[in-house]
Structure 1
């Protein structure tokens, strides 16, 4: 296959080079690059804005959006006399009425990177599409965990654009649900650089002062006894409200996973100690009045641990904690519950996967996780932790685990990342998911799985729940229930200078 990549040579970037290198390594593929002048829509002060943000936030200067010099561009293979089999248009200026099929990359319906930047600066989570004429080949809702920094948002979106191109060429491109919004096109309006610089500097000072006064981020766990319908049935916060799992301000608790063991409810959480900057897994027993004491550490490794997915099978309690920093998905077994955890197996290796969630369904085991890159050293870059859903299946929870042939099955910052156990209600499977369109863990959504088999995965988001009067704060990102209790978590403020105490 001969692929011609059409891009604007005046704004050749590092992500273009990575994409070209990746395409050139595909079997039986010849890549050529047409790097002429595209539509002159990129604002002159956008790159100044990026440099200013990189300076203020300490961002690397060689990221996906970094410009390439002339010698680097000169090494790209130029178009030959032979017609390509396909043109991938990154500028939006190639006519699609010619004899060669054209795949055009669109952001909120418009071509070119300026359209992507316009959408991001307008506060949107842009819908990216790969279209061939009137046919939609691939689509995804792009996003990032860090809102407010244009460079980070832009680079994460570029990386995921490369993911979409690769997936489409592999014949396994995901497409958003038909009810996804159809955003109106935007005209790029770059803010005045001077005013933007003042806001950036002011924002950096405010954030610095905030971090001097508060431990951030700081999460908290909410719990309640279940005497009626749960959050899945209600689709909203309960009127009775939530009680809070207290912390001492020097640490926070998040990612609550309850389990019943020998007739008693136990809660496993991520415990993050601010002075250490790394998390471990802790557990606490619950009585009818609430937690008995405070969570105590039960599992710690050399890397950050969170999202302690615990379940009982074959007379034992098992855990699959998130160990994204280690590049693995590992299985542990409790030898002396609630502690004594021994590593039984590495289920998946060489991957930056977040919030692995297991489900037994249809005679097989399924595993859901968002993946930052296709592997630990993805040549196309990494991008967001939260927008790209991968699946695996296995005959047994210990494996061997097989990647779904349609991976990634979903690219959607609003509904990809797991947010707790999948709940069975009659014939329905309800999947709690994180809506990160306005930042990491901003809201919780409940998605009904419509199809889950070896050929495809689809889901439909039915409910979205945010923090509010019943759960003060700005974030809500985990939901779990067991043993007559229900748990959520969200953000909190923890002053650095209050007198520390253990509750």
Structure 2
């Protein structure tokens, strides 16, 4: 919806860029980056700059122990997990190899200005060095770099972003905003995206150098910080680290906490009931230092084994764990059975060709991988890469119509991990997998993403789906598959289940059943124990 401006419906006039700050069209831009603090937004900015034929882009690396405090990454990972935010994103740490295609400026060369058509855009956290080439530098409310932005967000303001020339005067100015400051990662990435807009506008000579509402002059960077005052920098970093620690405490000790619910099936199951059972659910216990989610059960040799994602708050990474179930419930606690360098979740387990297989989600790897059990349930070996070069979530297999089908939500070019359903089909679960000719077959945040294995019922197929219209994993949908073949796919959501008296909390996320047991998961607010 279009909103009128604060000036009674008329947009305030934007200040014309100063002619002295408008750059000539053909130029070399050297972007100065901290090798140890490279993030996704730097890569996106360089990619957009590299698409401009009038720009020659070079990268100059510095090694500087600055940037965000170390606990900032833990905060971001935890918020992403709790709120289901997509990663990697603009704030995600990246490796310098991601910019290998850009010409590297020899050490020190960026310090020598070669004329009016050259520019140094300094996005590092290193202080300006005596004798360095004139450069544009970024600050938020006068505080330099990303640490300044995060500190401004903790101050609950609408920070003024300034890109300043060598004389300290702005070449681009903007008051940034966010829909919410409740989730720091979402706000931080929103501001980084708009910072890219500000920088590109400055390079085009189209940016405003004044605030449109007549507010006072923007803050100047603190002199001690800008000139390399070590004490000032340490105090600023220490203050931000303490603010992050307080936010971590609030999240980890009094935040949303995922949990798995289970019950013995007596009478109809959840798919037949289309509501929570009268007796409610029992909760798989945890120690508060970790949570369990994504339950997948399999019945084999007369026993039921439950596989879950186990997320340890202290490590900030998920592994796959398993626990056996007896007549009265779990036999002990889940124990890790599969761990990789990347985060793992959604352990889709199935039996075929007389063996047990698993396809865990690990979208950070850009692959969908198949594992085989060698010592069920603990021993697993990597068997094959089913799909490569795809950022996919919650891969789920189904044997139907004489073929194998794979369902997964795909994130291509950014956006949500949960709204775009792709299908593949194959003669065997090992492949080769052929993409459906109409991919994506569904774009719907309310029913695209899988919420567990597909179930045959009364001659039809019921597909549990995540309804994320009110946030990741907010509700569980039951969708009937109406058509599934190489020409088309169609489904109809018949039921939407939410948390309630039988499952208190804020989210209902997954459904799985095997051997007379039924499992769900979701979150509630609880006191967790990150450190103790």
What is the TM-score with the length of structure 1 in the denominator?
0.60
Q: Could you tell me how far apart the structure 1 residues matched to 2:180 and 2:521 are? A: 35
Matched residue, 1:423: 455
| Cα offset, 1:57, TM superposition | 3.3
Cα deviation 1:367-407 (Å, max 9, x = unaligned): 1111111xxxxxxx311111111111110001111111111
The 3 A distance-change label for structure 1 pair 455 and 66 is: farther
1:442 aligns with 2:474: yes
Q: Could you tell me how far apart the structure 2 residues matched to 1:449 and 1:326 are? A: 30
Matched residue, 2:487: 455
Matched residue, 2:397: 358
Q: Could you tell me how far apart the structure 1 residues matched to 2:359 and 2:381 are? A: 11
1:267 aligns with 2:299: no
Matched residue, 2:187: 57
Q: State the secondary structure of the residue aligned to 1:341.
A: strand
Matched residue, 2:414: 382
2:501 to 456, 469, 485: 469
Cα deviation 1:43-88 (Å, max 9, x = unaligned): xx997424996899322655389537468779xxxxxxxxxxxxxx
Q: Could you tell me how far apart the structure 2 residues matched to 1:348 and 1:492 are? A: 35
Q: Could you tell me how far apart the structure 1 residues matched to 2:252 and 2:508 are? A: 24
Q: State the secondary structure of the residue aligned to 2:189.
A: coil
1:414 aligns with 2:446: yes
Matched residue, 1:160: none
Q: State the secondary structure of the residue aligned to 1:312.
A: strand
Cα deviation 1:249-272 (Å, max 9, x = unaligned): 011111000001111111011111
Q: Could you tell me how far apart the structure 1 residues matched to 2:332 and 2:293 are? A: 17
| Cα offset, 1:351, TM superposition | 1.4
1:492 aligns with 2:531: no
Higher CA-based Rg: 2
Q: Could you tell me how far apart the structure 2 residues matched to 1:338 and 1:294 are? A: 14
The 3 A distance-change label for structure 1 pair 499 and 300 is: closer
Matched residue, 1:231: 270
The 3 A distance-change label for structure 1 pair 361 and 212 is: closer
Q: Is the 8 A contact 2:253 2:530 kept in 1?
A: no
1:335 aligns with 2:374: yes
Q: State the secondary structure of the residue aligned to 2:504.
A: coil
| Cα offset, 1:428, TM superposition | 1.0
What is the TM-score with the length of structure 2 in the denominator?
0.57
Q: Could you tell me how far apart the structure 2 residues matched to 1:73 and 1:426 are? A: 63
Between the two proteins, the alignment pairs up a number of residues equal to 329
Q: Could you tell me how far apart the structure 1 residues matched to 2:342 and 2:363 are? A: 9
Cα deviation 1:279-323 (Å, max 9, x = unaligned): 111111100000001111111111111111001111110000111
Q: Could you tell me how far apart the structure 2 residues matched to 1:296 and 1:278 are? A: 15
Task: Output aligned runs, 1:75-474, within 5 Å.
Answer: 210-211=250-251, 213-214=253-254, 216-373=255-412, 381-474=413-506
Matched residue, 1:191: none
| Cα offset, 1:227, TM superposition | 1.3
Q: Is the 8 A contact 2:403 2:426 kept in 1?
A: yes
| Cα offset, 1:219, TM superposition | 0.7
Q: State the secondary structure of the residue aligned to 1:343.
A: strand
Q: Could you tell me how far apart the structure 1 residues matched to 2:276 and 2:438 are? A: 35
Q: Is the 8 A contact 2:507 2:522 kept in 1?
A: yes
Matched residue, 1:135: none
| Cα offset, 1:229, TM superposition | 0.6
RMSD (CA atoms):
3.2
Q: Could you tell me how far apart the structure 2 residues matched to 1:232 and 1:249 are? A: 31
Q: State the secondary structure of the residue aligned to 1:59.
A: helix
Q: Could you tell me how far apart the structure 2 residues matched to 1:308 and 1:52 are? A: 33
Q: State the secondary structure of the residue aligned to 1:211.
A: helix
| Cα offset, 1:325, TM superposition | 1.5
Q: Could you tell me how far apart the structure 2 residues matched to 1:352 and 1:474 are? A: 27
Q: Could you tell me how far apart the structure 1 residues matched to 2:400 and 2:429 are? A: 12
The 3 A distance-change label for structure 1 pair 50 and 452 is: same
| Cα offset, 1:462, TM superposition | 0.4
The 3 A distance-change label for structure 1 pair 308 and 387 is: same
| Cα offset, 1:208, TM superposition | 5.7
Cα deviation 1:119-170 (Å, max 9, x = unaligned): xxxxxxxxxxxxxxxxxxxxxxxxxxxxxxxxxxxxxxxxxxxxxxxxxxxx
Q: State the secondary structure of the residue aligned to 1:406.
A: coil
The 3 A distance-change label for structure 1 pair 57 and 231 is: same
Q: Could you tell me how far apart the structure 2 residues matched to 1:205 and 1:336 are? A: 42
Q: Is the 8 A contact 2:252 2:530 kept in 1?
A: no
Q: State the secondary structure of the residue aligned to 1:467.
A: coil
Cα deviation 1:328-350 (Å, max 9, x = unaligned): 11000100001110110010111
Q: Is the 8 A contact 2:319 2:343 kept in 1?
A: yes
Q: Could you tell me how far apart the structure 2 residues matched to 1:434 and 1:52 are? A: 24
